[in-house]
A and B are shown apart, each in its own frame.
Chain A
Amino acid sequence: MKYLEIGKHVEKGIDWLAQNAEPFFDAITVVIEFLVGAFQDLLLMPHPFLMIAIISILAYMVSAGRKNFFTALGWKKGRFLGLFTLIGLTLLYLMNFWNETMQTIALVVSSAILALLIGIPVGIQTARSLRAEKIIRPILDFMQTMPAFVYLIPAILFFSVGNVPGVVATVVFALPPAVRLTSLGIRNVQSDVVEAAYAFGATEKQLLYKVQIPLALPSILAGVNQVIMLSLSMVVIASMVGAAGLGQDVYKSILTADLALGVESGLGIVIIAIILDRLTQAAGENTNRK
């Protein structure tokens, strides 16, 4: 005998929202569809070989450092990622996964951008106010521990099927590290530097932009890296509600017990993961050294 029907109540609430807040969800749909569509178009516009070259050079440049582009030091630091990107993407092209790969990257990048756009300001807020921290922290814990599949259900109710519910579920899942690491970075700025800024008459805004954010940047960039990796880990789950990309192939391979397809599409996700991870890490490191 079930005595409490929490789930039923939540369902009613979600239903009510889905019916009454439609314009709001429509607006979100438009934004997300535009964002994902724009990235997809951009990535699929040039010929795959040109795109592979562009991404590989970009990867090399970020890990070598812009100044070291033509130097021996730059080659030493950048060759791994540059060559790995070149070979990995070519492999994906040869396995005939080019379109899916670009769709996946578009989804991941869009989700990550949205998660960061929300997460970084919230993180700044929680760092500066104890009350905000107290409210937001349990919400983050909830978001991170609730199984990611559960997000898919309201996402479908609000946004139907396709890329949009996938992105929304991904954003919810990938948001917490952006908030936490931004907050941590700002809290860890040495108190005497903050005090010095106040002593010279800095306003709150000057303190934030001239002292706290620059000093918290390494931590914030670690957050960016985490957000991107979590977004990528949601690719398969998001494909269950119809999000495009390599996740679809993984999902299909599970449903049909197709090992060959599973290996190939899984490998594709791993390659993308390594490229995105090393790329964001390298970007973070080069900022640290400055």
Chain B
Amino acid sequence: MSENVKIAVKDLNIIFGKHQKEAKKLIAQGVSKTEILKKTNCTVAVTEANFDIKDGEIFVVMGLSGSGKSTLIRALNRLLEPSSGQVILDGADVLQANNEELREIRRKKYGMVFQHFGLLPHRTVASNAAFGLEIQGTPEEERIKKAYEILKIVGLEGYEEKMTGELSGGMQQRVGLARALANEPEVLLMDEAFSALDPLIRGNMQDELLNLQESLKKTIVFITHDLDEALKLGDRIAILNDGKIVQIGTPEEILTEPADEYVRTFVENVNRANIVTAQTIMFEKPTRIELKREGAEVTLRKMRNTGLSVLPVVDENNKFIGFVFDDDVVKIRGDKSKSIRDIIYEYSASVYLETPASDIIAAYRDSSIPIAVVDENGKLKGVVMHSAVVSEIIGKDENEIRTDIKNALEI
């Protein structure tokens, strides 16, 4: 286990019902949830969850309703009592804490934001934001001062003395966020925090959360049913299906290497273009022409070997210069007065490794000319073909596209 693990969840099972022992046995035997419900009258919410949450990352748990994601986040601060397993926060098992220790953990280490805000309607914004501190017994003057500071950070300056009922949903959730941040928690638990907001506000809140996180560097556990939200916010994403974690990975890993059919069908509908980057879809170590050393003959041989009609040209430091086309090479073949330099096509755009596919497609002037992928020093890292970008965006692989095109031509 690396040092920067903040929360380690081990073998966590959450079962609701009276006959938990029998249910657990059945889980071990691999019996399905519905069978267990029939046999023991126990609802299995989460089975055998194992994952580490790293310090300072946004860890997203994504799943549809009924997948057990809200149950899972509630096990982290024991709003729901897990049936077995461990939740190790900073090296100590939260599940072993007694009532007093648990309260202390909830007061000092965790801050939580709820889907429906959970604010006190009979209190002012500032008083709500200071609620966590009030519970801890912080003197009134001090906690209100702190609340004002935090409210300023979340963009609610000037609303401190309003009643929460007078605010819009987005603003209420800012109060919820301020309340969670006011007691300076180490871990922020966000349970579908933005799901009750309308799409435009939700997008804004996501952006702001990312902005805040840049300065706060909290460990954030974010629950959502929205894959786009998960991909946008998550440093890593855990996908939960039917109480089981089916995959944990970076957004890109989830999209490009779905672990099973469930994840695959899930990511199919996503706008992949915003997430998949040049690095994933490029040809790595492409055949290239080094300008100083290689002439027309070598170029033509390389083209023949690779079957490509266009190749990238680099200088002696592997710095990308442009592309050469087979037609042009043939024209200067045998002409001693001309070199490759004269026929390089330099107008093609180049992109960086982390450029998303949606931006790459915009960089194309001509679908027959590939785009070079370079690092920050301009060195050639790979080449992206037009077809690869298109296939990423529409979510089919290249072979499928080729067949589609062939079929279209035959018709």
B148-176 interface (Cβ within 8 A of A): none
Are A200 and B131 touching (Cβ within 8 A)? yes
Q: Which chain B residues border A196 with CB–CB below 8 Å?
A: 112, 114, 118-119, 131, 179
* Residue in B77, B115, B122 whose beta carbon sits within 8 Å of that of A199 in the complex: B77
Interface string of A234-254 (1 = CB under 8 A from B): 000000000000000000000
**Is residue B143 within 8 Å, beta carbon to beta carbon, of the partner chain?**
no
> Across the two chains, which residue of chain A brings its CB closest to B110?
A199
CB distance from B76 to the nearest CB of A (A): 10
B113-167 interface (Cβ within 8 A of A): 114-122, 131-132, 134-136
Are B114 and A200 touching (Cβ within 8 A)? no
| Majority secondary structure, B binding face | mixed
**Is residue B106 within 8 Å, beta carbon to beta carbon, of the partner chain?**
yes
Question: If the complex has contacts A192-B114, A195-B114, A201-B135, are A211 and B120 also in contact, measured as CB distance less than 8 A?
Answer: yes
Are A197 and B135 touching (Cβ within 8 A)? yes
A159-200 interface (Cβ within 8 A of B): 190, 192-193, 195-200
Are B106 and A192 touching (Cβ within 8 A)? no
**A210 vs B120: C-alpha distance when bound (angstroms):** 9
CB distance from A207 to the nearest CB of B (A): 9
Q: Which chain B residues border A198 with CB–CB below 8 Å?
A: 79, 106
CB distance from B83 to the nearest CB of A (A): 19
**Is residue B19 within 8 Å, beta carbon to beta carbon, of the partner chain?**
no
Q: Which chain B residues border A217 with CB–CB below 8 Å?
A: 122
> Across the two chains, which residue of chain A brings its CB closest to B106?
A201
**Is residue B103 within 8 Å, beta carbon to beta carbon, of the partner chain?**
yes
* Residue in B103, B116, B183 whose beta carbon sits within 8 Å of that of A192 in the complex: B116
Interface string of A194-220 (1 = CB under 8 A from B): 011111111100100011001101000
**Is residue B104 within 8 Å, beta carbon to beta carbon, of the partner chain?**
yes
Are B120 and A214 touching (Cβ within 8 A)? yes
**Is residue A2 within 8 Å, beta carbon to beta carbon, of the partner chain?**
no
Q: Which chain B residues border A214 with CB–CB below 8 Å?
A: 120, 122
> Across the two chains, which residue of chain A brings its CB closest to B109?
A201
Are A290 and B135 touching (Cβ within 8 A)? no
Q: Which chain A residues border B218 with CB–CB below 8 Å?
A: none
**Is residue B107 within 8 Å, beta carbon to beta carbon, of the partner chain?**
yes
Q: Which chain B residues border A195 with CB–CB below 8 Å?
A: 79, 114, 118
Q: Which chain B residues border A202 with CB–CB below 8 Å?
A: 103, 135
**A198 vs B136: C-alpha distance when bound (angstroms):** 12
**A127 vs B256: C-alpha distance when bound (angstroms):** 52
Interface string of B75-115 (1 = CB under 8 A from A): 00101000000000000000000000001111100111011
**A278 vs B398: C-alpha distance when bound (angstroms):** 78
Are B117 and A215 touching (Cβ within 8 A)? no
CB distance from B164 to the nearest CB of A (A): 11
Are B103 and A215 touching (Cβ within 8 A)? no
> Across the two chains, which residue of chain B brings its CB closest to A194?
B118
Q: Which chain B residues border A197 with CB–CB below 8 Å?
A: 131, 135
> Across the two chains, which residue of chain A brings its CB closest to B116?
A192
CB distance from A91 to the nearest CB of B (A): 39
Are A190 and B118 touching (Cβ within 8 A)? yes
Are A199 and B103 touching (Cβ within 8 A)? no
Q: Which chain A residues border B118 with CB–CB below 8 Å?
A: 190, 192-193, 195-196
* Residue in B110, B122, B136 whose beta carbon sits within 8 Å of that of A215 in the complex: B122
Are B79 and A199 touching (Cβ within 8 A)? yes
CB distance from B239 to the nearest CB of A (A): 25
11 additional contacts, CB 8 Å, given A193-B120, A199-B110, A206-B135?
A192-B116, A192-B118, A193-B118, A193-B119, A195-B118, A199-B106, A200-B106, A200-B107, A200-B135, A201-B136, A215-B120
The 19 listed contacts between A and B (C-beta, < 8 Å) are A193-B118, A195-B118, A196-B179, A198-B79, A199-B77, A199-B114, A200-B106, A200-B107, A200-B132, A200-B135, A201-B103, A201-B104, A201-B107, A201-B132, A201-B135, A202-B103, A202-B135, A210-B131, A214-B120
Q: B interface vs A, CB < 8 Å? A: 77, 79, 103-107, 110-112, 114-122, 131-132, 134-136, 179, 183, 189
Q: A interface vs B, CB < 8 Å? A: 190, 192-193, 195-203, 206, 210-211, 214-215, 217, 290
The 6 lowest CB-CB distance pairs between A and B, nearest first, are: A196-B118, A201-B107, A201-B106, A192-B118, A199-B112, A200-B132
